Structure 1
Amino acid sequence: MFNIIEWIKKAETKEQKLNRIALLVLALGAGLWSFASFFSGFFRGFSTLLVVGAFTFLIGIIIYAFAQFIELRER
Structure 2
Amino acid sequence: FRMGNDALTDYILVSQDRPFVEHFIRQPDGDWVYRSFSEMTDSFEIESVGCSLNLNEIYDRVEFEPLNDPEH
* TM above 0.5: no
Q: Structure 1 or 2: larger strand share? A: 2
Length-normalised TM-score, structure 2: 0.24
TM score, norm. by length of structure 1? 0.24
Q: Which has the higher helix share?
A: 1
